[in-house]
A and B are shown apart, each in its own frame.
Chain A
């Protein structure tokens, strides 16, 4: 049984290490700086109150991300902090068995042509705010998966733990989320004349 002072020191250090990550996730989930602070502070308080449930200290990151994510799901979405564009049941329907071909054939031909022949300078021309806007445009289940893996560097197993789904579902959400992200970026680039008009 760890000493209270040792546990507090451990918790304080992990919170200091992860504050930026927690705020990043909260900010992208709420898309509003003012709304992102409360979930982080409340999740940290909640985490301390249930610190006994952390069985493996190496899993602190997925454990506290899960607390924050649950907080967002249970409280903030109900309060419509962000427009409820996501319908979990619809988006998750058949997710594990989703066929890649089906995913791609749902995209416009113009996008597919570009998708198969990406322009090298495309990513260089994108601004950070373009990327953030594209990430924010993703339905919540895909947005969270992309943030946890591609921004926060969590593994598929850790992400599955945060979202309480199977690693296979995480893999599927990653494929779909990144395809939707590409589509959003392509649309933006097209509108802003960042890609060749003839494509």
Chain B
């Protein structure tokens, strides 16, 4: 089990650098532990970037629901027939 001392020490980054990593962070795409530590540290003390991150997260949730469009019956029928005929 990793302890606290194994974690990379966070470097101070500015808001532009934080923005560069923001979407990767929100999409769980940051694999570099140093980058992760840096943005988490920045978000912990920058109110503006924290608010931005919070809003982007909310927007992500809203987008998932906004994409929920029912499949037209005509398309479903076509696909059912296509699958039956394989």
Contacts and interface: CB of A to CB of B under 8 A. Distances in A.
Interface stretch (A67-75, A80-88, A119-127): A119-127
Interface residues of B, number: 37
B48 A116 contact: yes
Contacts of B86: 8, 11-12, 48
B81 to A, nearest CB: 9
A41 B82 contact: yes
Interface in B22-68: 22-24, 27, 29, 48, 51-52, 54-56, 58-60, 62-68
Q: How large is the interface on A (under 10, 10 to 19, 20 to 34, 35 or more residues)?
A: 35 or more
A165 interface: no
A8 B60 CA distance: 35
User: DSSP class of A's interface residues: helix, strand, loop or mixed?
Assistant: helix
Contacts of A32: none
A10 B75 CA distance: 20
Given A23-B71, A123-B58, A128-B65, A174 B27 contact: yes
B83 interface: yes
A37 B83 contact: no
A101 B65 contact: no
A45 B82 contact: yes
B6 interface: no
A37 B72 contact: yes
Contacts of B7: none
B62 A126 contact: yes
Contacts of A126: 62
B76 interface: yes
Contacts of B58: 123-124
A117 B48 contact: yes
Interface of A: 8, 11-12, 15, 19-20, 23-24, 27-28, 33, 37, 40-41, 44-45, 48, 100-101, 104, 115-118, 120, 122-124, 126, 128, 131-132, 135, 146-147, 149-153, 155-156, 171, 174-175, 178
Interface of B: 15-17, 19-20, 22-24, 27, 29, 48, 51-52, 54-56, 58-60, 62-69, 71-72, 74-76, 78-79, 82-83, 86
27 contacts: A11-B83, A15-B83, A19-B76, A20-B71, A23-B72, A23-B75, A44-B83, A45-B82, A100-B17, A104-B16, A115-B52, A116-B15, A116-B52, A120-B51, A120-B55, A128-B65, A131-B63, A135-B63, A135-B66, A147-B67, A150-B60, A155-B29, A156-B27, A174-B27, A175-B19, A175-B22, A178-B23
